[in-house]
Amino acid sequence: MNKQDYMNGAENTLLHTYNRFPVVLEKGEGVYLYDTDGKKYLDFAAGIAVNAFGYGNEEYLNALKAQADKLIHTSNLYYNVPIGNAAQRFLKISGMDRVFFTNSGTEAIEGAIKAAKKYAYTRDGHAGHEIIAMQHSFHGRTIGALSVTGNAHYQEPFEPLMPGVKFAEYNNLDSVKAQITEKTCAILFETVQGEGGIYPAAPEFMEGVRRLCDENDILLILDEIQCGMARTGYMFAWQKYGVKPDIMTSAKALGCGVPVGAFAMTETVAEKSLAPGDHGTTYGGNPLAGAAVDKVIEMMERENIAAHVQKIGAYLEEKLDALVEKYDFLTARRGMGLLQGLVSTMPIGEIVLKALEEGLLVISAGSDVIRFVPPLVIEKEHVDEMLEKLEKAFSQFIS
C-alpha cells in the first residue's frame, strides 16, 4: 500500500470530522517524525502539546512495556499499584489534595463541572447553580465541556446545551464581575487560552478572579490541560502567578500519549463534593495510564524539565519576536514557555501546509495564529532548524 491507499482507506471508513493534512505518519525518533514515504519532519506540534518527551524515550517506553506485561486494565472496583503512585506524584506537583483520573481532557472538564456543582449543592442544600466561563475558550467536545466553550461555531448545531453557563471576557475582571449572581458556583478558564489563540492570563486578572471567588464562596477552576505539565516553564501555569485554583484539570502531556486526564481539588472542596455513586469511569486511571503518569511526572521532576522549558522558551520567544520585526504579515507573538503563537494576516492553513512540505509540523490556533507546541526536550539547534524551515515556507508567499 502507498500513501494514497492509506489516505483513501481512512477517508472511506472514518467519520469525516477532520480535514487531515496529506501525511501518513509512521514512526518517531527524538523530536522528528517520519511518514510512510520516509520523509522526515521536525515536530513542533507534539501531537497537540502531548508528546513532551518526543519519541522513542526508552525509560518511558520500558515503563509502559513492563506494565503492559503485568496488567493493563482492572476497572475501578479494585485497587491497583500504578494509579496510587501516579496520584501521589500528581498531588505533590499540583498541591491539590484529591485527584480523579479520566480518559481525556474533555472528561476531566466534565468531572470538574460536576465536582463544583456538587460542592454548591451540598453547601446550599439545593441545585440550580451557574458557571461563568470565558469567550474564545476551549474545554472540549462533550456536551458539558462544549457548554463552557465560548465558541458559537462549535456550539450552535448542538443546542440546547447545558443551561446555567454565562460567558465573560477573558482578562476583563469587570466583565466577570458583571456575570456573578447568587447562583454562581464556579468560574472556569484556561490559565493560558490555547485553541482560542494563545492568550496568557494577565496577573491582575488571575489575582482579581481569585479575590472575587474568595469573597463570594465561588470555586476557581483552572483548565491546565494544554498549558500544564511544564509546558509554560512551570509544572502548572498557575504556579507562575501564585494563584491557586480550587479545582484544576489536566490531560494532553499528562500521559505523553497514553490517553489520560485528571481533575483534582482541594480537601475543602472534596469534603462537600463527589461521593460514592456520584461519578465513575470504567477505564479512567487504569494500570497502564497510571504507569504512564507515574513515569512522566518522575522524569519531568528528575530532569527538571520546567527549568529547561524556561531556558529554551526564552530563546524561542526571542527568535519569534525577531520574525515579527522582520515580516509585515506577522503582527504579534503571544505565549509562555513552549506554548507560543504568532499572529498572522496570511492564511494560517496555507502556511501550515507549506511548512509541512518543508518538513516542519506546526499547527494553528484560532483563525489567525501559528501555534508552536514542540516536545519539551527540544534544544536551541531545533529552534534554529524550525526557523529555517518556517522562513522557507514564508518565502513562498512573499514575492
Ligand X SMILES: *Cc1c(COP(=O)(O)O)cnc(C)c1O
Residues annotated as part of the active site = 138, 223, 252
As a dihedral over the C-alpha atoms of residue 43, residue 46, residue 48, residue 53, rounded to 10 degrees, the angle is -160
Largest pairwise CA distance in the chain:
67
Binding site for ligand X (CB under 6 A): 104-106, 109, 138-140, 190, 194-195, 223, 225-226, 251-252
- CB neighbours (10 Å) of residue 288? 24
Query: From the CB of 53, what's the least distance to ligand X, in Å?
Result: 18
Min dist CB 167 to ligand X, Å, is 16
Shortest distance (Å) from residue 259 CB to ligand X: 8
Sheet containing 40-43: give its strands across.
25-29, 32-35, 40-43, 360-361
Contact in structure between 139 and 149 (CB atoms under 8 Å): yes
- β-strands 25-29, 32-35 pairing: antiparallel
Nearer to ligand X, 144 or 194 (CB): 194
Minimum distance from residue 199 beta carbon to ligand X (Å) = 12
By beta-carbon proximity to ligand X, the closer residue of 212 and 262 is 262
- 133: nearest Cα among 219, 232, 49, 216: 219
Least distance in Å: CB of 193 to ligand X?
A: 8
Which residue is listed with cell 451557574? Answer: 130
DSSP state, residue 143: H
User: Nearer to ligand X by C-beta: 226 or 310?
Assistant: 226
Q: What is d(CA 364, CA 351) in angstroms, rounded to the nearest whole number?
A: 9
Minimum gap (Å) between residue 252 Cβ and ligand X: 6
Closest to ligand X by CB, 228 or 287: 228
Q: What is the C-alpha separation between 227 and 248, in angstroms, rounded?
A: 12
Closest-CA residue to 134 (of 72, 75, 83, 200): 200
- Check if the beta carbon of residue 116 is closer than 8 Å to that of residue 247: yes
User: Of 110 and 246, which CB lies nearer to ligand X in the complex structure?
Assistant: 110
Alpha-helix runs per DSSP H in the chain:
3-13, 46-49, 58-70, 81-94, 105-124, 143-147, 152-155, 173-179, 203-216, 238-241, 267-271, 287-302, 305-326, 348-357, 380-395
Q: Which residues have a Cβ under 8 Å from the Cβ of 16 and sit 6 or more positions away?
A: none
Paired with 186 in beta bridges are 131, 219
- Closer to ligand X by CB, 32 or 238: give it: 238
Report the residue closest to ligand X, judged by CB: 105
C-beta atoms surrounding 266 within 10 Å = 18
CB closer to ligand X out of 117 and 139:
139
Contact present, 319 and 325 (Cβ < 8 Å):
no
Pick the closer one to ligand X by CB: 105 or 208. 105
Nearest distance in Å: CB 196, ligand X: 9
> Given the DSSP bridges, would you call strands 339-344 and 40-43 parallel, antiparallel or unpaired?
unpaired
Least Å distance between CB 79 and ligand X? 26
